[in-house]
Amino acid sequence: MSELRISDLRVEVETESGPKEILKGVNLTVRSGEVHAIMGPNGSGKSTLAYSIAGHPKYTITGGSVTLDGTELSTLTVDERARAGLFLAMQYPIEVPGVSVANFLRTAKTALSGEAPKVRTWVKDVNAALERVGLDGSFGARSLNEGFSGGEKKRNEIAQLELLNPKFAILDETDSGLDIDALRIVSEGVNRYTSQGDRGLLLITHYTRILNYIKPDFVHVFVDGHVVEEGGVELADRLEIEGYDRFVRAAKVDA
Amino acid sequence: MTVTAVPNVAEAVETTPESHLHPAASFDLADHPVPNGREEVWRFTPMRRLRGVFDDTPSQAHLDWHTTLPEGVVVREITTEEAIALGVPAPVDRPSALAVARAGGAMLVEVPAGLEVTEPVVVELVGTDAGTQVYGQVVFSIGAHARATIVLRHKGSTRYVSSVSVLVGEGANLAFVGLQDWADDTVHVGHVGMKIGRDARVRTVTASLGGSLVRLVETTEYDGPGGELEQFGLYFVDEGQHIEHRLFVDHNEPHTRSRVDYRGALQGEGAHSVWVGDVLIRAVAEGINTYETNKNLLLTDGCRADSVPNLEIETGEIEGAGHSSTTGRFDDEQLFYLRSRGIPEDEARRLVVHGFFADIIRRIGVPEVETRLLAAVEKELEVIVGPSAESATDTAEAAS
């Protein structure tokens, strides 16, 4: 049993007018086997949460903690966090010219498991993972994300999720910009990952649409840098009907 | 070719680009006075390190020649007059004019018309003494509808003042690789002039790795409509090195194409690269298409990359024209992405730099050269990636 525990997490970002606090005390615990959805309006700090857990240099943790099985993540480098079992599927995956998908995946797998994967089975595994998300074998030889469509980039993220199989995955708006077919394919990949039973998932999304395919155990409403309401899947249904207005207005009153 | 006498030829083939960026090309030394360093085309060059290059120091010295010639390819010596009569592009500056005037004739490498060779033609020129000035003229002539890969590789120590001409016949298909693989004490100043025949296709790769100072002017003109040029370049500039590539593509014929992509990595105090990419689209050059790009990766403090693309357009009746230039440090987002998958920082840097150059290296098509260049990339990386990653870890541990 693994546990990703976020306690009173406070995060700042540097802006032109000085540091600005984006996360204002986030509390959230994800255990292996659980699917958590974080839902919130644009600008509420959802992506900041994802990136600061992963260790993006743009964000500074000023208070609180994030631990993975007791290890404080903020003391680890970006790659050490990944090797500790964390994975972030990005909203805008980065293009890396001249680095092939296959080479990238082999390097990542080697770094994560401490030994190079067996050549014979690995090539097969990579092609199978790409094909499961609807990317044909030619993608292995292509430069990482370069010239990929938005949908292809997201599929590639999910292929990585399945191949690298981390303990905990954070999906940052993986559903945004996907057409209905791509959304279904991506969701199926995520469900294959969670169906192993001992993986934890933090699904960050703006829309309830993806929750038709991925069933969360817990839903957290995220407004103004912290969780304002928690519940089960029924909370998502309410959001579908009512929108975020009620929470946004409440947050303004508090402020 | 109807002209034979030298003075007349000089008149006849003299081209005068309207461009203010390029002095008139000419075989006549008198047209190329000794520059003072303030001229547009010399302003980036450390002139003090070029002592002896401009002042007509006499020399009979030559570089050692080693050639690998597929069957049917011929190498022979020709006179300066014969070289000019072949229609080689005129010298663009004083060093290249000196190279033609003082080399005492040229080496001609001929791929006869219609010949298709699969094995590369390899010409290796080796310098043996950094104190000796050498003038050299080399002419590559690729006959009509021939197909060939040519590797011109420079090695060793010397002060080399060169003129290289590449004459590509109509419908020919040429891959031309120019390697500046010099020892650290070499100075090389030269002109590579290319003339592309009607409907010919040319792909070039210029790789400058070694040398104390390398300054190449690479010019392209077309000898008929429909010619296509793909020009790739890569350079690694280390501490104290000056590597300069000045390109000029003269779209003097309609429906011609050019694609230029040069990439460099710099590291160490005083590492200096210069890339100038000039394109002239003449009024007659309707329906042409051109794009130029230069990317520089600054791996450490203390290095400098000058990158200047210029586009002069004399007709709007073209298919497309553009250019771009970027110079910067490692892309933090790329490193973050790779590291977020567990790849350690040094390995991530290695991947990014490797990828930056592999994009170009894989287009060379000569395995031996590709291996050599990939090894050179690895060697560059050792300097920055290995030790710096180690010391970063040490610092972090010391701090905690």
Fill in the DSSP letter of residue B219: E
Q: What digits encode the pLDDT tens for the residues B197-249?
A: 999 999 999 999 999 999 999 999 999 999 999 999 999 999 999 999 999 99
CA B274 from centre of chain: 12
**Domain ranges, ordered by start, for chain B:** 29-329, 331-400
What the block records as the tokens of B76 is 């022979």
Instruction: State the Cα–Cα distance between residues B372 and B379, nearest whole angstrom.
Output: 10
Q: Residue with structure tokens 């040094």?
A: B346
Instruction: State the Cα–Cα distance between residues B17 and B335, nearest whole angstrom.
Output: 44
Of chain A residues 77-136, which have a CB less than 8 A from chain B? 77-79, 81-83, 87-88, 90, 93-99, 103-104, 107-108, 111-112
The verdict on A24 touching B (C-beta cutoff 8 Å) is no
Instruction: State the Cα–Cα distance between residues B97 and B88, nearest whole angstrom.
Output: 12
CB contact under 8 A, A143 and B339: no
CB contact under 8 A, A96 and B337: yes
| Cβ B262 vs Cβ B275: under 8 Å | yes
Give the number of other Cβ atoms within 10 Å of residue A80's Cβ.
16
- Choose among B237, B235, B252, B112: nearest CA to B172: B112
What is the Cα Rg of chain A in Å?
Answer: 18
| Residues of chain B with C-beta less than 8 angstroms from the C-beta of A99 | 338, 351-352, 354-355, 358
Phi, psi of A64 (to 5 degrees): 80, -165
| Cβ A190 vs Cβ A171: under 8 Å | yes
Instruction: State the Cα–Cα distance between residues B125 and B109, nearest whole angstrom.
Output: 13
Instruction: State the Cα–Cα distance between residues A182 and A189, nearest whole angstrom.
Output: 11
Give the number of other Cβ atoms within 10 Å of residue A213's Cβ.
16
pTM of this structure: 0.80
Per-residue pLDDT of chain B (400 residues; tens, 9 = 90+): 333 333 443 344 434 555 556 668 999 999 999 999 999 999 999 999 997 888 888 899 999 999 999 999 999 999 999 999 999 999 999 999 999 999 999 999 999 999 999 999 999 999 999 999 999 999 999 999 999 999 999 999 999 999 999 999 999 999 999 999 999 999 999 999 999 999 999 999 999 999 999 999 999 999 999 999 999 999 999 999 999 999 999 999 999 999 999 999 999 999 999 999 999 999 999 999 999 999 999 988 899 999 999 999 999 999 999 999 999 888 889 999 999 999 999 999 989 988 999 888 988 888 888 998 988 888 877 766 654 333 333 333 333 3
Q: What dihedral angle (degrees, nearest 10) is formed by the CA atoms of B28, B99, B35, B26?
A: 30
Instruction: State the Cα–Cα distance between residues B240 and B160, nearest whole angstrom.
Output: 19
- Nearest Cα of chain B lies from the Cα of A107 at a distance, in angstroms, of 7
Which of B341, B347, B352, B363 is the best mutation test for A, with the most CBs of A within 10 A? B341
- Pairing label, strands B201-208, B173-182: parallel
**HEC secondary structure over A48-68:** HHHHHHHCCCCEEEEEEEEEE
Q: Residue with structure tokens 């040519």?
A: B150
Q: What is the mean pLDDT of each run of 10 residues along chain A (255 residues)?
A: 95 93 96 96 94 96 96 96 97 93 95 92 92 93 94 96 97 93 96 96 93 95 94 90 85 68
Phi, psi of A186 (to 5 degrees): -65, -45
| Residues of chain A with C-beta less than 8 angstroms from the C-beta of B348 | 79
| Residues of chain A with C-beta less than 8 angstroms from the C-beta of B331 | 94
